[in-house]
Structure 1
Amino acid sequence: MHMASIPKFSTRLNFNQPLRAVENHAQITCSALAHGLLTSSNNHMTKTSHVLRLIDQTEEGLSNTGKFGRFGGVFVPETLVTCLDKLAAEFNFILRDSQFQSELAVALRDYVGRETPLYFAERLTDYYKNSKGEGPDIYLKREDLNHDGAHKMNNAIAQAMLAKRMGRKSVVAATGAGQHGVATAAACAKLSLDCSIFMGNVDEERQSSNVLRMKHLGARVKSVEGTFKDATSEAIRDWVGDLDNSYYLAGTAVGPHPCPSMVREFQSVIGKETRKQAIEKWGGKPDVLVACVGSGSNALGMFHEFVRDEEVRLIGVEAAGTGIDSGKHSATLSKGDIGVYHGAMSYLLQDDEGQIIGPHSIGVGLEYPGVSPELSFLKDIGRAEIYTVTDEEALHAYAVLCRLEGIFPALEAAHALAYLGKLCPALPNGTKVVVNCSGRGDKDADRVFKYQQQMGLATF
């Protein structure tokens, strides 16, 4: 398979404007079918051996191309190319550096609190059994038990260590729900790095407790008009102003190469632990993995370890908001078209003229108009299944987990949990399902109660 060289797109720093691509989902799927990459049976995509070849070829060429199939790449001003090339070189070095990996392992164990449990949710399992008492066994990967309450710390501590190794004095980041901001602020405090977190004023109001936590940790929280996508643009602009001394700490698997690969790698500890724990608990692999999808870090962290195990289903759940056809959603993979945004090619929520359509979700961390280029690739080749759930369904799942298991899921993770209602009836008895409980939901408790009252929903 021919892999093109890294594309480099020189333009002014207008990070909120995507570059429109003409392909849409239907065209791509038809093209894949025509080339024998996918086959259609009973309205489901069935993978062939071509899928693993495509995955292997992509991984082999990734360091040279920055591409996952047609997705990814480096679409940035020329002034950033040298900086990104240096970052890629440093990243590739530390992957093989035993000292760095040893220090990271200690930090993950003693600071982050890994490994996180693979928890059998017995009452949740019973809740989804059918009238015959049959259904899958449901396990939760408890990323909510990480230091600071989310999977975000896995990546933040690793990248902060990398920034310090590169001699950077300050770190810049953007956050939506605030969990990446808190994790970055904590990692910077630990490593004595100056920290600036950009956050949309809309998100600051919705996640005020996380704003306070960031400030307690010594970070400067810089308010931006808008939401996460606007904060990301401003954080990148700030970083570009001092490339020699500052480090842009990406929190999710989007952006120009090597950012998606770095975040995926540092989050892959989730899936590695899951494989090990599954063997210990029932002597095999999970049958189904379920994770919410905003821009992609927690899903890839869970999926990557199993991407070549074709018998393991990979299910990503996007936010349908008030309805998938309402126009108020964050279902980028389900409803988006291909374009370039924040330095890489992926699916985007955009109109016919290539302008970004503002995303919506009750889970603030899912509100991003783009998505991981790697998830875009896995969806297109049929390796990852993508579904959606609404705000109302996520609120119900939040209440169910609280009442049945005594666990507060983040509203983002509640989307993955909500899909169990649709998934479980179709699964054989004893199927092993692992849901990534990617974050703790006490940050959302007040908002959940208010939404339940506004929507006239029962708390259970």
Structure 2
Amino acid sequence: MMPDPKPSHSQSYPDTDGYFGQFGGNHYPPEVRPALEELRSTYEELRQSPDFQHALDKARIGLQGRPTPVHYLENISNQVGGARIFVKREDLNHTGAHKINHCVGFALLAKKMGKTKLIAETGAGQHGVALATAAAYFGLECEVHMGGVDVGKQSSNVGRMQLLGAQVVSATAGQSALKEASDSAFDSYAKQHEHALYAIGSAIGPHPFPMIVRDFQAVVGQEAREQFLSITDGSLPDHVVACVAGGSNAMGMYSGFIDDSEVVLHAVEPLGKSDQLGQHAATLSYGRPGTLHGARSVVLQEDDGTPAQVSSVASGLVYPGIGPEMALLHETGRISVARISDEEVISTFFRMAKFEGIIPALESAHALAFAIQLASQRPSSERILVNLSGRGDKDVDYVLENYGTG
């Protein structure tokens, strides 16, 4: 009798209490836990439903424009002269980033649960625009909380959210960035959870959010794997690269390759201005275990345990924590962690525009910058696959104002 096959990573994690090893769980206040249990049970039921999957596929094809292609960066690969670089073009999704993958899923869940409103936080605005789009498509109200600094920096995305019918709430406490937006969104959700669903912006937070976001984002890795095998006559990439803050685009991309031990998974963090605390957002590199936004994970902290201030040229990466599943992958050594500075990000932003005709999001430019460095160190026989998680339309005004035209 043959032994049962080893369960996949996604089948093994999280456990029934929502933990990824020592990380995860549900550390939200007791008054909100029944709402999260309702979300968990509804999701567990609907994920097996052919009707739910059909509605999700319909939105992915018709609204989002999936599948997105895998594309070879021929010009930059030739310049580097080492390993060949391929990108998964999540920037070609409707709304411009991978975020809409889980926003559509949350909107469908809200409809099935009888909720009338979606609430969320956003950093660079890509998640907010995607959620506002999904809300409009499915006939739901939408409330997006955004750090006051980012409201000014990403004004075009603020306008897009408002055009789509969303209420944009400026979070002005503390650093007025993504953490404060998350705090503000949760406070609002706690008051409205009977008729609203919190559509969290990344693979963070209490159970079941990290699992749900990962599962909805898994379409990225599943497509990428099939496409890569097709264009390379059956070969997997040697390296898979993604930028990380919370971890939604990374977990989505990793999902297609996480059980292939021969594929090296790289997580690229924002080094910001320097390696000094407060000048970067490199949580896996410099953080330590702690609790943030309802889950046990790794957090950048001051000596007294409070979350540290963080910095990055990319608004979507200005977060002092990491998703619990990412923390587990780091602890077990499944991912290799790299750091990219603001200066390297801006250089790559211009290089991609001038030599590939692609303007990447500043978040995605972290992953691309590292991939270019990695390619220069690896032989031409190797292949690197990068999740180009978003386009840089939102960043153009900021870059031109602060860095010119390169």
Interval of TM-score (by shorter of Structure 1 and Structure 2): over 0.9
Structure possessing the higher radius of gyration over alpha carbons: 1
1:151 aligns to what? Answer: 98
Q: Are residue 224 (structure 1) and residue 176 (structure 2) matched?
A: no
Aligned CA RMSD, in angstroms, stands at: 1.5
Return the letter of the residue paired with 2:100: M
- Mapped to 2, the partners of 1:253 and 1:450 lie a distance apart of 32
Return the letter of the residue paired with 1:387: A
1:357 aligns to what? Answer: 308
Question: Could you give the per-residue CA deviations for residues 336-389 of structure 1, whole angstroms, max 9, x where no partner exists?
Answer: 011001000111010111011111000000001111100100011000111100
Q: Are residue 96 (structure 1) and residue 48 (structure 2) matched?
A: yes
- Mapped to 2, the partners of 1:72 and 1:234 lie a distance apart of 21
On the 8 A contact 1:138/1:434 being kept in 2, the answer is yes
Indicate which of 131, 134, 146 corresponds to 1:199: 146
- Mapped to 2, the partners of 1:340 and 1:269 lie a distance apart of 29
Deviation at 1:327, TM superposition (A): 3.6
Return the letter of the residue paired with 1:390: S
- Mapped to 2, the partners of 1:57 and 1:215 lie a distance apart of 39
Q: Are residue 68 (structure 1) and residue 20 (structure 2) matched?
A: yes
Return the letter of the residue paired with 2:145: F
Indicate which of 398, 402, 413 corresponds to 2:349: 398
- Mapped to 2, the partners of 1:57 and 1:298 lie a distance apart of 17
1:3 aligns to what? Answer: none
Aligned ranges 1:46-445 → 2 under 5 Å? 59-60=11-12, 62-129=14-81, 135-225=82-172, 226-282=176-232, 283-325=234-276, 327-445=278-396
Deviation at 1:62, TM superposition (A): 2.2
- Mapped to 1, the partners of 2:13 and 2:120 lie a distance apart of 28
TM-score by length of 2: 0.95
- Mapped to 2, the partners of 1:61 and 1:206 lie a distance apart of 37
Deviation at 1:257, TM superposition (A): 0.3
Q: 1:412 to 1:74 in 2, by over 3 A?
A: same
Deviation at 1:57, TM superposition (A): 7.6
On the 8 A contact 2:85/2:375 being kept in 1, the answer is no
- Mapped to 2, the partners of 1:261 and 1:99 lie a distance apart of 21
Deviation at 1:63, TM superposition (A): 4.8
- Mapped to 2, the partners of 1:207 and 1:74 lie a distance apart of 32
On the 8 A contact 2:85/2:371 being kept in 1, the answer is no
- Mapped to 2, the partners of 1:255 and 1:326 lie a distance apart of 23
Return the letter of the residue paired with 1:187: A
| Segment drifting more, 421-430 vs 346-355 | 421-430
- Mapped to 2, the partners of 1:380 and 1:87 lie a distance apart of 28
- Mapped to 2, the partners of 1:161 and 1:109 lie a distance apart of 15
On the 8 A contact 2:277/2:310 being kept in 1, the answer is no
- Mapped to 2, the partners of 1:422 and 1:245 lie a distance apart of 48
Deviation at 1:426, TM superposition (A): 2.3
On the 8 A contact 2:121/2:182 being kept in 1, the answer is yes
| Segment drifting more, 242-251 vs 396-405 | 242-251
- Mapped to 2, the partners of 1:424 and 1:137 lie a distance apart of 7
Deviation at 1:316, TM superposition (A): 0.7
Return the letter of the residue paired with 2:222: K
Question: Could you give the per-residue CA deviations for residues 30-53 of structure 1, whole angstroms, max 9, x where no partner exists?
Answer: xxxxxxxxxxxxxxxxxxxxxx98
Segments of structure 1 that go 5 or more residues without pairing to the other structure are 1-51, 130-134
Question: Could you give the per-residue CA deviations for residues 236-268 of structure 1, whole angstroms, max 9, x where no partner exists?
Answer: 111111221111011100000000000011011
On the 8 A contact 1:292/1:415 being kept in 2, the answer is yes
Deviation at 1:422, TM superposition (A): 2.5
Q: 1:58 to 1:402 in 2, by over 3 A?
A: closer
Q: 1:263 to 1:57 in 2, by over 3 A?
A: closer
- Mapped to 1, the partners of 2:203 and 2:306 lie a distance apart of 22
Question: Could you give the per-residue CA deviations for residues 286-333 of structure 1, whole angstroms, max 9, x where no partner exists?
Answer: 111111111110011000121110100100100000112364000001
SS of the equivalent of 1:268 reads helix
Return the letter of the residue paired with 1:231: A
Return the letter of the residue paired with 2:365: A
On the 8 A contact 1:58/1:69 being kept in 2, the answer is no
- Mapped to 2, the partners of 1:97 and 1:118 lie a distance apart of 29
- Mapped to 2, the partners of 1:126 and 1:205 lie a distance apart of 38
On the 8 A contact 2:278/2:309 being kept in 1, the answer is no
Count of aligned residue pairs for this structure pair:
398
Question: Could you give the per-residue CA deviations for residues 381-425 of structure 1, whole angstroms, max 9, x where no partner exists?
Answer: 000111100000000000110011100100000000111243113
Question: Could you give the per-residue CA deviations for residues 181-200 of structure 1, whole angstroms, max 9, x where no partner exists?
Answer: 00000100111101111111
SS of the equivalent of 1:291 reads strand
- Mapped to 2, the partners of 1:144 and 1:291 lie a distance apart of 13
- Mapped to 1, the partners of 2:110 and 2:9 lie a distance apart of 30
Deviation at 1:145, TM superposition (A): 0.3
Deviation at 1:430, TM superposition (A): 2.3
On the 8 A contact 1:138/1:435 being kept in 2, the answer is yes
Question: Could you give the per-residue CA deviations for residues 198-254 of structure 1, whole angstroms, max 9, x where no partner exists?
Answer: 111111000000000000000011111011111111111111112211110111000
SS of the equivalent of 2:298 reads strand
Return the letter of the residue paired with 1:186: T
On the 8 A contact 1:58/1:67 being kept in 2, the answer is no
SS of the equivalent of 1:347 reads strand
TM-score by length of 1: 0.84
On the 8 A contact 1:58/1:68 being kept in 2, the answer is no
